[in-house]
Structure 1
Amino acid sequence: MSLTQLKTRAQLGIHAPEVRVEVHISNGLPAFTVVGLPETAVREARDRVRSAILNSGFEFPARRITVNLAPADLPKEGGRYDLPIALGILSASEQIETSGLADKVCFGELALSGECCRIEGLLPALIASKKARQGAIIPGQNRTEAMLLQDLPIQLATSLAEICSSLNGGKALPVLDPMLPQHRPEPTMDLAEVYGQYRAKRALEIAAAGGHHMLMMGPPGTGKSMLAQRLNSILPLMNEDEAMSSASIRSVCQLPVNPDNWLERPFQTPHHTVSGIALVGGGRNPKPGEISLAHNGVLFLDEFAEFNRAAIEVLREPLETGRIHISRAS
């Protein structure tokens, strides 16, 4: 058939709305058009996909190819659309059979050789796929963070040729085994190592038990930073929902997620020269800031008096409401 539809997911903060990748091949002068509000990296997929298809041993159709990423009003960015676009072209040109992808979503950036490369911000997409009861095909290089998901059939792919072989009745793609460590790693810094300071330690215990904000004041060298750095050692491990939420934020920020200590609560210590945007998040392509990275954990602002006024002022609403809300004019 000359029309194929596959599914993937976009990245919108820590949310991952579903995107339909529609590929239509028609008669006419050879052309390759991508529509649906694609940004630069998505438009450049045309060259990556063409080379990946040819280097995987398939023919690239010398016809008019139109790729629609729906919904059209949702911005699409990144290389995650390469794989579903390539599979859609091969299916529409009747070189592979994609009926096995009806209940699956596909992610992956393609190298010119056809290799499936790692993508960023995958974890929120997998969480959304799990809620929608969809399977997933992901690059093998994303194995580590994908191991955190249970009850979600995830297949690993190393190349476009491997996926196509599987869809055409060849060897099935390997299925990822989830791994959720239940042990607690030994803390590198323990509050029990601090001798004396009984009133300060008691205050830390109360703050940890009730989830309270805490301001520590005193002359230099009295152990304020030492005590604060050991607060994590008396906090309980996160439950799975909390850990998944924190891991999703790290994934969106392109930070590694370690399955061995993913239940440990975050501990963020921004430098006193940090800007307000770096604290609350934002930018041209909005990303979470230090406050969001400390979600479910501890945000430690050492030498607080040295922070600039603008950075201190942006803390006001997050401290009062417990939420981060960024408004943009465009």
Structure 2
Amino acid sequence: MFESRRSVIVRRLWRRRCPCVTGPKPGGENADQEALSCLKLVTHTLFKRLRDEQLEMLARSLEARGTDDCTDCVSFPRIELRIGKQRYWPQLLTCKLFRWPDLKHLSQLKRLCICECCGRTPGESVMVCCNPYHFSRLCEPETPPPPYSKLLPSNHWKTIDDSSALPSVTRDEHWCSVAYWEYRTRVGRLYTVCEPSVSIFCDLPRGTGFCLGQLHADGRHEMVRRTRGKIGGGILLSKEGDGVWAYNRSEHPVFASSPTLVRGRTRGLSVHKVLPGYSLKVFDYQRAQALQRSAGPELPDGPFDPHSVRISFAKGWGPSYSRQFITSCPCWLEILLNNC
């Protein structure tokens, strides 16, 4: 029997749903089963209101798992979808259905800079994007966060210059430069960023940015090779109105630290764990200005650049980890901000 194109796309979409919507578990609570049934019904309502090309774009984005920066928005009217007592905003529904089953509120989401709707005020458009890979979960800092340890002196570090692997940037207006480190050795030149956002990855089939997989070094430690294998899609770094955001698009945690991530009156810098699919404001412009005004004994101990961010892949550091210093992490980034 001939199957329509639309039916084929819908089947592709349902194959990508989270396990929680496969059906009620035997012996489950009636309330849970009712909520699950409502979720499936409201999803069918959403699919019916999307055009075939929108469903195709949604399926492509799900199958690429967010590794394609060129996927378009999937626009939908800014209205709530209602089934019985259940109400869902379309973007909340698709994020819950395809990425985070425990998602409850829009406030838990952050729109990514790759989304055309990013930066618009809530009432500026009658349409919203419901592509779940145009969103991330907001990272909630650990409580209490492990303190940042002092870095080793800079004369303990060395650099491997693999300049042929990096594109040359001649424009002067850059907002940050990125250095890639393996333990205490910097590999390659500084990567200068002029665009509002940059992808930093090791193995990403689509998209452009800082490809760490192209950086070569002689005699790499086995732990470095294993950690590089976990970077995958890496991070999406973006400069926004309130600060610098990092989105973890890999399948393993990343760990971030900056002077503005200090909580309360804690002395020393804080390291924050960012899970896959989550975003964290790694540098806050307003807090940076406050730190500058309170220069002196209130600033953290040890050598650090007040306008820098450090991010390690897969391995954390600090008192809660076996690695006390970021220079003990196999693969990490130093992001030097310009004109903060």
Given the two structures, how large is their TM-score scaled by the length of structure 2?
0.28
Structure showing greater relative contact order (alpha-carbon pairs closer than 8 Å, 6 or more residues apart):
2
Given the two structures, how large is their TM-score scaled by the length of structure 1?
0.29
